[in-house]
Amino acid sequence: MNESFGKLRTFALLIPILWKISGTALVILIALTLAQALIPIAQLALTSRLVEEAASLFQGNSDNGMRDVQLLVGLQLALLLSGAVMGGVFKYTQQYFNQRATLYFDELLSTKVNRLPLSYFDNHLNYDRLQRTSFSMQLQGMGVIFTLLTMLQNMITVVGFIVVLYQFHWLLSLGMLLLVLPMLWSYLYESKAVFKLIIHQTPDERMSSYISNLLKSREGAKEIRVFELASYLIAKWKQIAWRNVGRLLAVERKTIALTYGVQLLTLTLLSGMLLFALHAGANGGLVIGQYVALAQALFSSQALVQGLAQGYSNIHQGLLHANEMILFVNLPEGNGEEGDQAFPSPMKQGIKVEHLSFHYDGAPGPALDGISFTIGAGETIAIVGDNGAGKSTLAKCLLGLYAPNEGTIAVDGVDYAHLSSDSLRSRMSAIFQDFVQFPFPVWENIGLGGISELGNRDKLQKSSEEANTASFIQKLPQGWDTVLGVQFDGGHELSYGQWQRIALNRAFYREFELIVLDEPTASLDPMTEASIFENLMKLTSGKTSVFITHRLGSCRFADRILVLKDGRLAEEGSHDELMLRNGEYAAMFRKQAGWYTKEWEEQVLGV
């Protein structure tokens, strides 16, 4: 009972979505379904009459000769042509609705994903759910309405046939109704088994898809060739893929055996009904035209009843998928309850972090543990520490991408929790180590940093001169209109250092109150890094900025340095203050400095 109520609730939630996609198309499809359902019933009546008239004509007993036969054939032709026209209009309308639904659900999924908190992507179970939701949206959810329309059409036709059968004998109509139950049970069993299989093997499906895409990607091509990984990865992919195939075939064997048993039962029952009709005809209870119509009704009903049972099964499975979609769409967005205050701009006091703690789902301990510090307005802060110290997690908290499990972050005394997410994001900018390399023209790559000024060529030119990207942009084949990357026709590849400069330019194209640079020069050589940092200091002059870096030589540019260790704030101060303190920072700095001294060369390299 609860399961049936849940399916009805899912269907009730799905209807407004389908109506929003195209209510007009939906009305046309329903009208055509009702009209097409009546054609087989009319055809059955015409066939019975035509057989009777033909028999009379052949025996010479027809009063009107060919005239009645021609009229009946003409009516049949009109019905067939009407059915063909309606079928064509239905197919076109269905295709139109399908395309609109695909675009609608793709947009819905993309929009929803980008409204979820960033922490959603830190749990592997959410990736499984995301893949199932994508599948459900594209294939199953919108398929429910077409299956339902087909069922409605078949149901009307079957009811008409059952009425025809009842006119001959009530046992025939009862027998037809009895065909429904075993078919319905077998198809329901199959739909539940298939859906359970989809849930069970989603992780393997994701891994199989990942390896397959990796083998065909530009990103993986270098390491796959250098380490000769192709054979190993193909074997790993095949192992996972065949494991999935094995599970699928196991379910298929069970359902085929069950379906065969049900078909054996229904065909035996159908044959008994035909024998009953023949017996009635032999005893004078039927004429030849009635028997032909009766046989046609029996065979057509059997196929339609099977379609009804399978349709109900498909709707059952489709609603299970639709429920996945609805649950995903209704997931809570953002980092909890959103405030309505605007970000204080311009920032006057700065940012205050108090007792900040953050814990990843499933992690054994907190990534950040009770951190407290302040960032003055216009101050440049460097955050350093070993891998896993919590630097990037802290950066995401400062950007409002993660909501702390404990503690607060406030700007000019206003807690982040009280700010609207749009206002908060509009005043932030960032560049991450794994920045996106958009395969778009140069102007778009940079302009995406400030959507409202995307096509402002004057501002783009000024920004590129300040960010020191103008020098190499001018040398590109089509200048600002050059498509970057080689994924698409006419694209031009940049060096990684040039890509990094483009990403930095994009970050500074935005009007911001706080900018976070997470390892902005990690992949650059020391000379290029020094040049970029010198330029960054000019760009961030008077701006509140946070640098995360492993190269401690860059920290000399910072007003203050925060040293993280195991998720806690170990030290805080300027470069000179921390060197005099001779603690964690001084030890790390001396170790890195040793890489560039002759003493290190003699001790480690033996030169």
- Domain CATH code at residue 449: 3.40.50.300
State whether 381 and 457 are in the same domain.
no
Q: Is the previous residue joined to 203 through a cis bond, with omega within 30 degrees of 0?
A: no
Collapsing DSSP states into helix, strand and coil, what is residue 447? helix
274 within some domain? yes
State whether 534 and 401 are in the same domain.
yes
Domain termination site, one of 479, 494, 511? 511
State whether 304 and 379 are in the same domain.
no
In whole angstroms, how far apart are CA 335 and each of 119, 420, 424? Answer: 9, 11, 13
* Beta strands at 544-548 and 514-518: parallel, antiparallel or unpaired: parallel
List, edge to edge, every strand of the sheet that includes 428-431: 428-431, 514-518, 544-548, 380-384, 560-565, 568-573
State whether 98 and 151 are in the same domain.
yes
State whether 99 and 209 are in the same domain.
yes
State whether 135 and 231 are in the same domain.
yes
Q: Which H/E stretch holds residue 384?
A: strand 380-384
When divided into structural domains, the chain yields a total of 3
* Cβ pair 430, 507 in contact under 8 A: yes
State whether 361 and 295 are in the same domain.
no
Region of 490 please: left (phi>0), alpha (psi -120 to 50) or beta: left
pLDDT at 349: 92
- DSSP 8-state secondary structure symbol assigned to residue 136: I
State whether 93 and 226 are in the same domain.
yes
Give the whole-angstrom CA distance, residue 539 versus residue 544.
Answer: 11
- b/e string for 387-421 if b means 16 or more Cβ within 10 A? eebbbbbbbbbbbbbbbbeebebbbbeeebbebeb
605 within some domain? no
State whether 406 and 461 are in the same domain.
no
Give the whole-angstrom CA distance, residue 568 versus residue 391.
Answer: 10
604 within some domain? no
pLDDT at 55: 67
What tokens appear for 92 in the block? 């076109």
Give the whole-angstrom CA distance, residue 380 versus residue 93.
Answer: 60
101 within some domain? yes
What tokens appear for 588 in the block? 């790390």
Give the whole-angstrom CA distance, residue 319 versus residue 287.
Answer: 47
State whether 308 and 350 are in the same domain.
no
Give tens-digit pLDDT for 293-341: 666 666 666 666 666 666 666 666 667 667 777 777 777 776 556 678 9
Give the whole-angstrom CA distance, residue 382 versus residue 395.
Answer: 11
Domain termination site, one of 329, 360, 391? 329
Q: Which H/E stretch holds residue 568?
A: strand 568-573
11 within some domain? yes
State whether 460 and 416 are in the same domain.
no
The range of the structural domain enclosing residue 39 comes to 2-329
pLDDT at 314: 66
State whether 347 and 288 are in the same domain.
no
607 within some domain? no
Residues of the chain with pLDDT under 50: 1, 599-601, 603-607
Q: 568: which residues sit within 8 A by CB, 6+ positions away?
A: 368, 369, 370, 371, 390
206 within some domain? yes
Domain termination site, one of 469, 484, 511? 511
In whole angstroms, how far apart are CA 558 and each of 235, 353, 546, 562, 592? Answer: 50, 19, 9, 10, 18
**CATH label of the domain that carries residue 154:** 1.20.1560.10
Greatest CA separation found in the chain? 123
pTM attached to this predicted model: 0.69
31 within some domain? yes
